Chain A
Amino acid sequence: MISKRLKCPKCKYEVTIEGNPGEKVTITCPSCNAKGAFTFPGDKPAGDFSIQINGLTKMFNGLKAVDNVSFNVRRGEIFGFLGPNGAGKTTTIKAMLGLIHTDSGEIRINGFDAIKHGKEVKNSIGYLPERIAFYDNLTPVQTLNFFCELKGADKSVVKPLLKEVGLEESIDKKVGNFSKGMLQLLGIAQTIIGNPSVYILDEPTSGLDARWVKIVRDKIKTLNEQGATIMFSSHILSEVQSLCDRVAIIDKGKLVAEDTVPGLNKLLKIKPRLEIYISDLNGKIPEVISQIEGIDAVDAKENVLFVTCDYSVRIKVVTALEKAGFQIKDMKTIDPSLEEAFMKLLFKDGGAN
């Protein structure tokens, strides 16, 4: 869904309408009751996708920073975009916003070609760059007012927004005196201006203390619950795992995976880990374990036995231990993490070295 501000040709009253690319919307002016219609431009229906990237390539000085990258972000999902430093995450994101020129490929946001229909695309996007800066001599109110003007948004949202991100006590300060964390919070506030349907957040919790990290994560969840599509990159893999419906991993400019976290682990055959607390184990691995099929790895430390195996093998392990006379005091299953998948994908040794 995209929005468009139109002026009534009769009375010049401004109205905001919403629709999808190619959709014809009938409008009745609230001021003079004049009737009209507007067809949203866009030559391809967006379908289920908010973001469609196809064969994106970008070269810097003859080197491919982004190499034939393709992925789709579904409408209303939280999508994590991961990769080590210099992998091509920020370059891909900047290409989506037309900040850099691409060598080949197609980018569609809400069905619009991001290059041909730059203004329509940007109207529906809230973007937080990795490295953020504003204007030193302006106050946060003046800064957000400026962004409201650029997006044709109502300025009355500015003060509540600043309150929401905890900057209400700094509204008279010059932005030049802000700390990195405060700039990040102001950056987050500006993404919300105009209620975009797509958020692209590059390291949204970077530079924030624990309290604000939680507030930002909650805000991401709230925006998503309200229907927004959110694509974000982060180095904090636990954050991505807890927030994202799906993830894409990019390395050396190439997309190496795109799936849900459980889907990735299944694909990479990463199994859960069983932690079994046994009386008098004393760091020794019971012999009975070696007779069970389907165990990937086993280790023991003091009175805890660690067994990496499929969920279906767990019961065999527990039964065998009990039959062998071991007294199980407690046990828990640790699901495979995104970090393990990430390490396995990017490093052949799983990041051990």
Chain B
Amino acid sequence: MGSINQKSIYYIAKKEFMDNIRNKWIILLTTLLFLLVIVFAYLAYVQPEQPGNSMDMTQSTAVGLMGISSMLIPLIAIILGFSTISGEAESGSFSVVLSYPVTRLEVLLGKFLGLGSVIVTAVLIGFGFAGVIITAAAGGDSWLGYIVFMGLTILLGLIFLSLSICISALCKKRITSIGGGLIIFFWSTIIGSVFMGILYGSGYSFDNLMTGNMPDWFWCESFFSPADLSQAAVMRGFGMNEINSMGFSATLPDFLNIWSALFVDLLWLIIPLVLAYFFFKRRDI
């Protein structure tokens, strides 16, 4: 790999941040995220306390936001990453950048850090400001859980960024990267459907599923889906073990804890990035 020039990585990261923070789609999605957090916080604030519900306002907001964050944050990451290599190779800007004294590894790391900073900024703006208001209004001590939620959301964004950069390094053309980005975005649905199919094929019924009467291996699906894994990790982060939603009830197995989730998340983060370098290094620009 040769020696790495940290300054070059920083300059590339700075340029990526400056260029992409002004991306109209990112501004739009971050604004949407911010508004949805406010709406959820308000709903959590005004809803009457339900018997048996031990969650405070911050927890309710965070759990309510899980579904939205696991959709919008990956979308932001995919928009940022899907064409970062294939698009620049196609447009010609890579020909210029790579004619400067920088290595492909420095370019890749700079891009990841710069685009990752855009995700961090989007999460901090989308969730951070509202989090401060919510925690102040609720006065509870679950702010730590909310910070864990924000951290896991950032991690989810970085995982999807790593995946989309990998797809971008693999695809020769921008248009094929879009297809790759769509597969990544719907990956949870795809892998969920595969596990459901296996579950039904093994003789389990819909009723078994709704009552949480399912085998432990079924929960392994979360390890194959970063979005589902992130949701499980957020629940564990708030000390919750049970899922009770729309008539569905289940208890998370012990092996699906925050540490196992973080370990697998790190694999989801690092492996695609290593593969991206492998594809990028071999690529003709």
Contact residues of A with B, CB < 8 Å?
Answer: 94, 97-101, 118-120, 122-123, 125, 127, 129-138, 142, 146-147, 149-151, 187, 190
**Do A122 and B91 touch across chains, with their CB atoms under 8 A apart?**
no
How many A-B pairs fall under 8 Å by CB? Answer: 83
B11 contacts A146, C-beta separation under 8 Å: yes
Per the bound structure, the CA–CA distance linking A134 and B8 in Å amounts to 18
Q: Is the CB of B15 within 8 A of A135?
A: yes
In the complex, chain A residues whose CB is within 8 Å of the CB of B141: none
Range for the number of chain B residues in contact with chain A? 20 to 34
B20 and A150 contact, CB distance less than 8 A: no
Contact B100 A147 (CB under 8 A): yes
* Cβ contact within 8 Å between A100 and B18: no
Task: Please pick, from B23, B96, B98, the residue contacting A134 in the complex, using a CB distance under 8 A.
Answer: B96
Q: Per-residue CB proximity of B9-53 to A under 8 Å, as 1/0?
A: 001101100111011000000000000000000000000000000
* B142 on interface, CB distance cutoff 8 Å: no
* Residue in chain B with minimal CB distance to A151: B100
Contact partner, B285, options A100, A138, A147, Cβ 8 Å: A100
Known: A100-B284, A133-B91, A146-B11. A122 touches B22 (CB 8 A): no
List of B residues within 8 angstroms of A132 by Cβ: 92-93, 95-96
Whether the pair A122, B101 counts as a contact (CB closer than 8 A) is yes
Q: Which residues on B sit within 8 Å (CB–CB) of A118?
A: 101, 103
Q: At the interface, is chain B mostly helix, strand, loop or mixed?
A: helix
Taking A118-B103, A137-B23, A149-B11 as contacts, is the C-beta distance between A97 and B98 under 8 angstroms?
yes
A-B contact pairs, 23 of them (CB 8 A): A94-B285, A97-B95, A97-B99, A99-B95, A101-B282, A123-B101, A129-B95, A130-B92, A131-B91, A132-B92, A132-B93, A133-B88, A133-B92, A133-B96, A134-B93, A134-B96, A142-B18, A146-B11, A147-B96, A147-B100, A149-B7, A149-B11, A151-B101
CB distance from B103 to the nearest CB of A (A): 7
For B22, list chain A residues within 8 Å (CB): 137
User: Is residue B102 contacting chain A, with contact meaning CB distance below 8 A?
Assistant: yes
CB pair A137–B18 under 8 Å, yes or no, is yes
Q: In the complex, what residue of chain A is closest to B21 when comparing beta carbons?
A: A137
State the 3 A-B residue pairs at the shortest beta-carbon distance, nearest first: A133-B91, A127-B99, A129-B95
Closest to B16 in A: A135
Chain A residues with Cβ below 8 Å from B282 are 101
Q: Given A118-B103, A131-B92, A135-B19, is A150 in contact with B97 using a C-beta cutoff of 8 Å?
A: yes
Residues of A within 8 A of B285 (CB): 94, 99-100
Q: In whole Å, how far is B69's beta carbon from the nearest beta carbon of chain A?
A: 25
Known contacts A119-B101, A133-B91, A137-B23; is-contact A127 B96 (Cβ 8 Å): yes
Q: Would B93 and A133 count as touching, CB distance under 8 A?
A: yes
Contact of A138 with B99 in the complex, beta carbons under 8 Å = no
Q: Is there an interface contact between A150 and B284, defined as CB atoms closer than 8 Å?
A: no
